[in-house]
Amino acid sequence: EAGVAQSPRYKIIEKRQSVAFWCNPISGHATLYWYQQILGQGPKLLIQFQNNGVVDDSQLPKDRFSAERLKGVDSTLKIQPAKLEDSAVYLCASSSRLAIHPDTQYFGPGTRLTVL
Amino acid sequence: DAKTTQPPSMDCAEGRAANLPCNHSTISGNEYVYWYRQIHSQGPQYIIHGLKNNETNEMASLIITEDRKSSTLILPHATLRDTAVYYCIVSFSGTYKYIFGTGTRLKVLA
């Protein structure tokens, strides 16, 4: 079974530029999460989707961050414009309510963003 | 805020058991304890979870105290590849939400 795929793995941009990250969850997983992990900290949930609907985006800085999951499968997270403090690893995870352990989340390798 | 407290770092000799503690004194009756680990430059990896009984799988054992206010993750024979940050998380079953703390950085020494 293929895991969660993310691209790109690394991205370097200058402040005020825009950037987009892509995530393809495990096949059949209806729940998709985006996390932000700043160096030295644990991951922080930005947004959670159930199919193509948003379940929780309370921690998403909506003035600059947006995310979509139009067909309920893959997802894109965008930052526009980027700030220096957005430098972090962006992790995507997925889970399935139909699994034996529905709360278990499976994480992708992450995208490391550096904002100069 | 995370509902768990973990020591920031621990060392363990290769081949010995690594015992990683976690305090979750405010855990409620239907919250599970989850353990994940994150090896450098990778996403977190699921290890094990439990509600109130001790659990064991091919990776580790989870010991939860009777009052459920703390737990210990045991890696029975640590190897160099177990060097990672280990996160203890409590989560309501069915909410599918995790709040990560800063975890324990385990270093396995040769």
pLDDT digits (tens, 9 = 90+) for B22-50: 999 988 888 889 999 999 989 999 999 99
Tell me the pLDDT band of A38, cut-offs 50, 70 and 90.
very high
pLDDT higher than 80, residue A102: no
CB contact under 8 A, B96 and A102: yes
Residues of A in contact with B49 (CB under 8 A): 101, 103-104
Distance from CA of A86 to the nearest CA of B (A): 18
Arithmetic mean of pLDDT, A49-53 = 91
CA atoms lying within 13 Å on the CB side of residue B60: 25
pLDDT higher than 80, residue B103: yes
Residues of B in contact with A107 (CB under 8 A): 43-45
Cβ partners under 8 Å of residue A98, min gap 6: A28
Mean pLDDT for chain A overall: 93
Q: Which of B93, B99, B100 sits opposite A103 (nearest CB)?
A: B93
A interface with B, Cβ–Cβ < 8 A, is: 4, 31, 40-45, 48, 56, 91, 93, 95, 97, 101-110
Supply the pLDDT for residue B2: 65
CB contact under 8 A, A48 and B96: yes
Supply the pLDDT for residue B53: 86
Q: Which of A17-26, A31-40, A94-103, B67-76 is predicted least confidently?
A: A94-103
Supply the pLDDT for residue B109: 96
Burial A2-24 (b: 16+ CB within 10 A, else e): eebebeeeebebeeeeebebebb
Amino acid identity for residue A33 in this structure: Y
Supply the pLDDT for residue B93: 65
CB contact under 8 A, A44 and B42: no
Per the listing, tokens 């385990």 go with B106
Tell me the pLDDT band of B1, cut-offs 50, 70 and 90.
low
Residues of A in contact with B31 (CB under 8 A): none
